[in-house]
Amino acid sequence: MSLIIEDFGGRVATVWSELRPTTRGLVERALQASNVSSSQVRAPYDPRADLELSRLLTALDDRALEPGASLGSEKGDQLKHVADTCAAVLQEKTQSAEVFSQLVRRAEQQRDYRRIDVLADALTSRFAPSEICELARSEDVVVRALANEALAQFPTTVLVGLLSDPVDSEIARDALRRQAMEYGSEEARRIVNALDQVDEL
């Protein structure tokens, strides 16, 4: 494995060498498995692994995009396989809004709309409402749209809980408006009307 990584160039090799053994093991086990799934990647995972794998994925993707990258077709395929595997591990495990955005941008660049759908499904199951609000403020149009759609699916009571947060309140209001207008939620409509009346005072 180390020989393959070194073949991808100095930057990739450096990032790989800086991975903790547990994080490196995550990638190596995933590469050995034919399909990466949550049942196959059971190693310890933490925010540091998120950061490390995100850096590795960036280095691999940047190397693949380098003009005149003289890797040859076989090494190019290997590079793509390692990058896709790294992305798949992150997709299964990440709880970082920043990494989520990176994965969405990557899938969008590759026109992999099925992967975007999978990432969208992971939003509500893996991310706290406040983190999704952070994504709803993203500069990336696709990330923002996915986050806003996810928030509109939350129970109205969860969104009401966000109204007291000075940072997230406006995002929560927008989600409540969507619930009222697009989904016909009577409870959301009552809350939006009450908020509008307070604003008029």
Do 2 and 87 lie in a common domain?
yes
Q: 103 with 94: CB under 8 angstroms?
A: yes
Q: Other CB atoms closer than 10 Å to residue 148's CB: what's the count? A: 17
Structural domains counted in the chain: 2
CA proximity to 91, closest of 48, 129, 134, 121: 121
Between CA 69 and CA 53 the distance in angstroms is: 22
User: CA–CA distance from 81 to each of 61, 65, 78, 131, 190 (Å)?
Assistant: 11, 14, 5, 30, 51
Q: 41 with 28: CB under 8 angstroms?
A: no
pLDDT in tens, 2-29: 547 888 888 999 999 999 998 998 888 8
pLDDT of res. 140: 93
Residue 98 belongs to some domain of the structure: no
Given 58, 93, 128, which residue is the final one in a domain? Answer: 93
Q: Estimate to the nearest angstrom the gap between the alpha carbon of 46 and the chain centroid.
A: 15
Spell out where the chain has E strands: none
DSSP 25: H
pLDDT in tens, 104-152: 999 999 999 999 999 999 888 889 999 999 999 999 999 999 999 999 9
Say if residue 40's pLDDT is above 90. no
Name the more confident of 100 and 10: 100
pLDDT of res. 71: 66
pLDDT of res. 69: 57
Do 72 and 135 lie in a common domain?
no
- Mean pLDDT for 18-47 is 74
Burial (0-12, 13-18, 19+ Cβ within 10 Å), 51: middle
Q: Specify the pTM.
A: 0.83
- Mean pLDDT for 154-177 is 94
Do 1 and 89 lie in a common domain?
yes
- Mean pLDDT for 61-80 is 78
What is the extent of the structural domain holding 63? 1-93
Residue 134 belongs to some domain of the structure: yes
DSSP 139: S
What are phi and psi for residue 151, nearest 5 degrees?
-65, -35
